[in-house]
Amino acid sequence: METQQTWFGLKKDKPDFEIQCDEDRDLFFGRKSESKQVTTILQRSFRSTRKPPKFILYGDWGAGKTHTLRHYEHLITKDESKRAKLIFKELPDIQSKDKFSVLHSALLDAIGQDTVQGWMRSLSQEHGLDTEEIIRERTQSSDVAKAFISQTITGEASAIGWEWLRAETPLSPSRANLIMLSSKGLSQSQEFVHVLRELGRLCAQATKETLVFLVDELGNLNETANKDSENDWKWAFRGIFGQENKEFGFIGAGTWMGEDDCPRALQDQQVVTRLGLENIIQLGPFGQEEAVDFLKSLCRAFVDAKKAEKLKKKYAEEANEEPIDAESFPFTTDGMDLLAGHACREGGTTYPRDLLGLVDDFCNRAMDKKRHILSHEFIDSEISFSD
């Protein structure tokens, strides 16, 4: 059976025109203004080890937030001047009473106990018996210091300390007493932030890299309907985005349209002030011109130029004498303009997900009718048929 890959001359690693968030994270289409804004933030952040990147991307469903987040992960990773330990995590499903501990434990799991043990061994080798006191002073907690020190030990002690640091569930008094920890455990959002900041210090000291969390699906916070829970998240974000946090970065993304839809914990003025309005970036819809730019970039990235040239010559009559350039195949330039206009027919705008859906739909229609080139005439006839 023919596939879009063979029919339209796509590259060998592109079975169709669908963008994969992880596999295609090196690609970024459109959004020149937002890209420049984020690039500036990243450049300024990594000029100093005391200014880790902190910003939030938001937009409607289908705006491409996850792919954009993955793209910036790629940009940071490939740039040798930006030495960072990147931890990507989707915010877990949130219940109405869930507090910041849900994200905290997920972030520690994403880093991994083995990694933290390696960092702690590095610190212990440098400071010896002073290690526990150093962590106690930095975190303002004897319990936190003991839990971190337990990561230099093998066996049950290490498991107990890690369980205490994750704070997903309280330790029983008997287990906590085995390494002289309080069974109360971590409970306040400020305590969680202190632990994350210490992880940032450990990472920097052991690897010379800045710890940066990339957290997707922040819109899940709209599920919180409990005042105590909401306040807990607010205090956590105040600590994360505050100037006093020089140890780890936080790049988030979430689905909401504007201030009214934004999770209440992120609407808090003290959170907004600490983060800065310039670091809250909306991924809005595309107008028709931006939609065309997106489609051109998509075709340029996915189509094999040599294969396209052969197909253009073989099926030239299907273009109906309309021009085709290097960025439009398998569309004619007029056909691509019409498709973008069709995508923007309601309200004058569209989103990447909608554009990709239309490309897939019309490419399949073309294959059904044995066409390799999608002209203005062909697309217009299909639109009229659908209407």
- pLDDT value for 73: 92
The answer to whether 382 and 320 have CB atoms below 8 angstroms apart is: no
Residue where one domain finishes, among candidates 257, 282, 307:
282
Range of the domain at 8: 4-14+286-386
CA distances from 277 to 48, 255, 271, 281, 286 (A): 21, 17, 10, 8, 22
Q: What are the φ/ψ torsions at residue 167 (nearest 5 degrees)?
A: 60, 25
- 96: domain CATH number? 3.40.50.300
- pLDDT value for 23: 86
In the chain, % of residues over pLDDT 70: 99
Residue where one domain finishes, among candidates 260, 282, 304:
282
Question: Closest by alpha carbon to 106, among 89, 94, 93?
Answer: 89
- The rounded mean pLDDT for the chain is 93
Residue 169 has pLDDT above 90, yes or no: no
For residue 126, tell me if it sits in a domain: yes
- pLDDT category at 25 given cuts 50, 70, 90 is confident
The answer to whether 163 and 150 have CB atoms below 8 angstroms apart is: no
Q: Does residue 199 sit in the same domain as residue 53?
A: yes
- Of 12 and 154, the structure prediction assigns the larger pLDDT to 12
Distance CA 158, CA 152 (A): 7
Copy the structure tokens of residue 367: 């294959």
For residue 22, tell me if it sits in a domain: no
Locate tokens 């994200």: which residue?
103
The answer to whether 29 and 286 have CB atoms below 8 angstroms apart is: no
Q: Does residue 66 sit in the same domain as residue 183?
A: yes
Distance CA 244, CA 215 (A): 20
Which DSSP string corresponds to 249-293? EEEEEEE-SSTTTS-HHHH-HHHHHHH-GGGEEE---B-HHHHHH
Q: Does residue 181 sit in the same domain as residue 324?
A: no
Q: Does residue 267 sit in the same domain as residue 292?
A: no
Q: What are the φ/ψ torsions at residue 23 (nearest 5 degrees)?
A: -60, -35
Residue 30 has pLDDT above 80, yes or no: no
Q: Does residue 307 sit in the same domain as residue 273?
A: no
Q: Does residue 8 sit in the same domain as residue 62?
A: no
The answer to whether 92 and 107 have CB atoms below 8 angstroms apart is: no
Q: Does residue 164 sit in the same domain as residue 213?
A: yes
- pLDDT value for 387: 60
pLDDT in tens, 231-284: 999 999 999 999 999 999 999 999 999 888 999 999 999 999 999 999 999 999
The answer to whether 250 and 212 have CB atoms below 8 angstroms apart is: yes
**Half-sphere exposure (Cβ direction) of 284: Cα atoms closer than 13 Å:** 12
Distance CA 65, CA 57 (A): 7
Q: Does residue 278 sit in the same domain as residue 290?
A: no
For residue 208, tell me if it sits in a domain: yes
For residue 323, tell me if it sits in a domain: yes
Copy the structure tokens of residue 310: 């052969």
The answer to whether 347 and 328 have CB atoms below 8 angstroms apart is: no
Distance CA 123, CA 134 (A): 10
If you average pLDDT over residues 273-300, what whole number do you get? 95
* Number of other residues whose CB lies within 10 A of the CB of residue 208: 10
H/E element holding 89? strand 84-90
Q: Which residues, including other chains, have CB under 8 Å from residue 367's CB and lie 6 or more apart?
A: 2, 4, 7
Q: Does residue 322 sit in the same domain as residue 264?
A: no
- b/e string for 10-23 if b means 16 or more Cβ within 10 A? beeebebbebeeee
Residue where one domain finishes, among candidates 240, 261, 282:
282
For residue 24, tell me if it sits in a domain: no
Residue 63's beta-bridge partner residues?
none
The pTM of this model reads 0.92
Distance CA 265, CA 237 (A): 8
- pLDDT value for 213: 98
- pLDDT category at 5 given cuts 50, 70, 90 is very high
Residue 372 has pLDDT above 90, yes or no: yes
For residue 303, tell me if it sits in a domain: yes
- pLDDT value for 326: 85
Distance CA 359, CA 107 (A): 37
For residue 25, tell me if it sits in a domain: no
- pLDDT category at 300 given cuts 50, 70, 90 is very high
- Of 45 and 10, the structure prediction assigns the larger pLDDT to 10
- Total domains in the fold of the chain: 2
Q: Does residue 294 sit in the same domain as residue 244?
A: no
For residue 19, tell me if it sits in a domain: no
Q: Does residue 137 sit in the same domain as residue 165?
A: yes
Question: Closest by alpha carbon to 245, among 212, 288, 283, 269?
Answer: 212
Q: Does residue 160 sit in the same domain as residue 304?
A: no
Locate tokens 């309080």: which residue?
182
